[in-house]
Structure 1
Amino acid sequence: MADTSGTQDAPIEEGATEATRAEQIRGILDQVRADVRLGHAHDEAALLRQRLADAGIAVSEAELEQFIDR
């Protein structure tokens, strides 16, 4: 049966499901930074926290701070 919800709930790029945790985080961080740079978002930390949660990737506050400081 085809999914008719109209949402993308999983990665669609080839190899996305084989990515390591670090690669997944790096990809999400790149997306978040692009969104901030383009003006689609203003709070990098909040957006990164949300995107990581959406992806089911748990990070500590200390780890999150490391990503934002880079």
Structure 2
Amino acid sequence: MSDGMSDAPVEDGANEATRAEQIRGLLAQVREDVRLGHAQDEEQVLRQRLDEAGLSVGEDELRQYLR
């Protein structure tokens, strides 16, 4: 992406991660993007990344990750 935000796994073995590991990895990317000022709304960007990754997450589960 040209805006400096990461939108794909960059480490070998990323596709072998469990669903929870994938979600935590996306959350770590989102939090770093927010910290660096590349994104503002952590929840919105995480929802977008989850959708792009094809990961379905319910509201309760999402809230647990965002704590």
Answer yes or no: same fold by TM over 0.5.
yes
1:1-70 alignment to 2 at 5 Å? Answer: 11=9, 13-69=11-67
> Which of structure 1's runs of 4+ aligned residues deviate more than 4 A?
9-12
Deviation at 1:63, TM superposition (A): 0.8
Q: Which has the higher helix share?
A: 2
TM-score after normalising by structure 1: 0.79
- What 5-or-longer segments of structure 1 have no aligned partner? 1-8
Choose between structure 1 and 2 for higher RCO, CA contacts under 8 A separated by at least 6 residues: 2
TM-score after normalising by structure 2: 0.82
Considering only CA atoms, is the larger Rg found in Structure 1 or Structure 2?
A: 1
Give the fraction of aligned pairs with identical amino acids, expressed as a percent: 67
Query: How many residues matched?
Result: 61
CA distance in 2, matches of 1:18, 1:10: 14
Letter in 2 for 1:39: G
